Amino acid sequence: MAMFRRSRAPRRACILLMAAAWLLFCTYMFHGVLDVQLNISDNAGAQEVPPTERQCSGLFASFCERHVAQYRAEAVRQGMMHAWQGYKSYAWGADEIHPKSKTAKTDIMGGAGISGMGVSMVDALSTLKVMQLDQEFKEGRDWVVDKLNFERTTTVSFFETVIRILGGLAAAHDLSGDPQLGAKAQDLADRLLPAFDSAPTGIISNTVSLPLVQPDGGSGSSGLAEMGTNVLEFSSISSITGDDKYRRAAEKPLRAVHAANEHALMFEHVDRQTALETGSKRGVGAGTDSYYEYLIKYWVLGGRSDEHFRARWEAVVDDVLRKLIVSPPGWPFSFASDLQGDSLSPVLEHLRCFFPGSVALGVMSGAVQGPKAQLYLEFAANMTLACYQLYNSTASGLGAERISFDQQSGQLVISDERYWQRPEVIESIFYMWRATKDKRWRDMGWRMWRAIEKHARWEGGYSGALDVDAVPPESDDVSQSWFFAETLKYFYLLFSPDSALSLQDWVLNTEAHPLRVQSGRQRGSRAAVRLKRQ
């Protein structure tokens, strides 16, 4: 027995020595790789240049990538805290903030959208909750419950009020379970609901007045996105209240439009009396974008049970792939354009870059399967790479509002050099990451975030820029409310584990407010399709 005890002592020492050596080796390897990972190149050429942090490789690649992702997520979280502190210090309760001059901004979109509703406050709530910034969430929640009042007489955009305020309140309720936030959301929904009674089709006018919308007779036409981007929010109010009238009211105009129009890919406007399409251009960009987004998301929100909306979405994507694809000469990607007559536009604007992400979501959710799912996901990857050029092609690394390609040479031209803090590119990068787990998407997102930190950060928060091809770019001194709601959230989720917000349980509205999937959902019914590696 004594001999046995004596033989164990050297063995213990050997094991401890080996463990210490292993720990030192891991520490050396990880920190060495991390130093390389964070050495970001500022050279943004016309072609994709993978950031240097892609160099996690070998035996410790998985360990390295996990920790780098944690670092990146925390960096974005710190960015959100910085933006919130600026808003709290210099613009508390205002709609937006001028972060460079550190003053309050009392409307959004020059007063054409919403005024006097603390829009950034409401838009920030769901992001604060997702990032587990509980104290900051409580600060915003208390202001909303105590100060936000819809009794004031004001004219608002129905579309903007629904996606930002109604969606923000519903999401804050769903994430927190706070009944007072649910009551505030229902209060606003009740004031907006009569808009659906104006026309026999249920199609709304986008310009409405509070404190209570009055039916307007239903004349004229409505933009496709404006009339078709509210069913997620009102359906969520039905889920909160148990009253199906909100869902029925918002669903009616969509079914009327679908019944009246043969084409799944539609013109920009619909007649409010007949629901017939009007216009001259078909595409998935500004004016139509979120109508298409909500077809697939409404199917997911309802538990993947309403075949009507899934089939309509599939018909749209099929039409896009047949009719709208532009492949610039010399570039390894293609994108969905606009069709006017027989001509396809070579312009790629930031707003349409939501589309590949919505296609990837449809594939992940099982809306299509087999070879078609593979085809859809390959298209989504192609277009997301094209959209990345809005950032990768600029001197500052900030995203241009619009680029175009010469149809003969393929030369890329920045045709609108403003940076508006838009979320659509990082949104699609996020969905592509979730669909494929290909780390190049995270690398692209990190490069974008580093440009924002370098060129758009001010004492009062983050701003847009007037010319993304200037270094340094001049600030536009506006922090858009969607930067709180969407841009920061998508960056954070890109670098976070899937469990930070499960796409089985949540649907993000067009302002990135997470709405809980409703009962009857089929969990994990169809597997995500992975891109084949070439």
**Which residues have a catalytic role annotated?**
160, 289, 401, 424
Phi and psi (nearest 5°) for 417? -85, 5
Q: How far apart are CA 499 and CA 521, in angstroms?
A: 18
Q: How far apart are CA 390 and CA 381, in angstroms?
A: 15
Decide: helix, strand or coil at residue 520.
coil
423 cis-preceded (ω within 30 degrees of 0): no
Residue with tokens 């959100």: 80
Question: CB neighbours (10 Å) of residue 183?
Answer: 14
Residues 426 and 490 sit within 8 Å (Cβ to Cβ): yes
Decide: helix, strand or coil at residue 324.
coil
E strand or H helix at 251? helix 245-260
Residues 153 and 499 sit within 8 Å (Cβ to Cβ): no
Burial of 255 (0-12, 13-18, 19+ CB in 10 A): middle
Paired strand residues for 157: 207
Decide: helix, strand or coil at residue 300.
helix
Q: How far apart are CA 131 and CA 124, in angstroms?
A: 11
Question: CB neighbours (10 Å) of residue 53?
Answer: 25
Burial of 81 (0-12, 13-18, 19+ CB in 10 A): middle
Q: Cα separations (Å) of 145 from 91, 169, 233, 268?
A: 18, 10, 19, 38
Q: Which of 300, 297, 278, 298 is nearest to 288 (CA)?
A: 278
Q: How far apart are CA 417 and CA 413, in angstroms?
A: 10
Residues 396 and 459 sit within 8 Å (Cβ to Cβ): no
Burial of 262 (0-12, 13-18, 19+ CB in 10 A): exposed
Q: Where are the alpha helices (DSSP H) in 2-60?
A: 2-37
